[in-house]
């Protein structure tokens, strides 16, 4: 075997490993950035602070849900306006968790569960990477009463 062929055979797997590792790091960075946007949403719920919550959303975001078997759409401004600026009285009994994050390029989805004493809410967020930042652009959710 010629020396050039041997060197090529030895360096190709190494190059593939470096490329693969680099891609995994980039994916981890993007997933973490998406989770950060979602964390603002979770922290906004925990604190009742609309300024924290607003960091999660693009200003034109919409919130959609079913009420009396009809689609209801709420603006971000209306949603934030309903926040009291302080944690809920039963905050210590509330749990929130990010169940799933998935993305391709500049589009992402996240599933969040809000487990409250009287309710279990499942949020599905659609996010876009805009100007280098991930923002929630649409939120749909389902409320199940306990």
User: Mean pLDDT for the chain?
Assistant: 88
Average pLDDT over residues 37-57: 97
The domain in which residue 32 lies consists of 3-145
Q: CATH code at 110?
A: 3.10.450.50
Do 54 and 80 contact (CB within 8 A), yes or no? Answer: yes
* 28: confidence class by pLDDT, cuts 50, 70, 90: confident
Q: 3-class DSSP state for residue 136? A: strand
* 8: confidence class by pLDDT, cuts 50, 70, 90: very low
What is the count of structural domains for the chain? 1
Segment (H or E) for 38 = helix 3-47
pLDDT given for residue 67 in this prediction: 85
């Amino acid at each position: 075997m010629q020396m050039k062929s041997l060197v090529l055979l030895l360096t190709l797997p190494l190059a593939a490993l470096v490329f693969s590792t680099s891609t995994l790091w980039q994916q981890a960075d993007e997933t973490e950035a998406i989770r950060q946007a979602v964390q603002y949403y979770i922290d906004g719920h925990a604190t009742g602070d609309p300024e924290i919550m607003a960091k999660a959303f693009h200003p034109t975001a919409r919130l959609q849900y079913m009420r009396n078997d009809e689609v209801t759409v709420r603006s971000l401004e209306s949603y934030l306006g309903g926040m009291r600026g302080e944690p809920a009285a039963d905050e210590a009994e509330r749990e929130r968790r990010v169940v799933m994050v998935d993305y391709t390029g500049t589009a992402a989805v996240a599933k969040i569960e809000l487990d409250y004493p009287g309710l279990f809410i499942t949020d599905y967020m659609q996010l876009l990477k805009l100007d280098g930042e991930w923002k929630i652009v649409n939120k749909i959710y389902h409320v199940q009463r306990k």
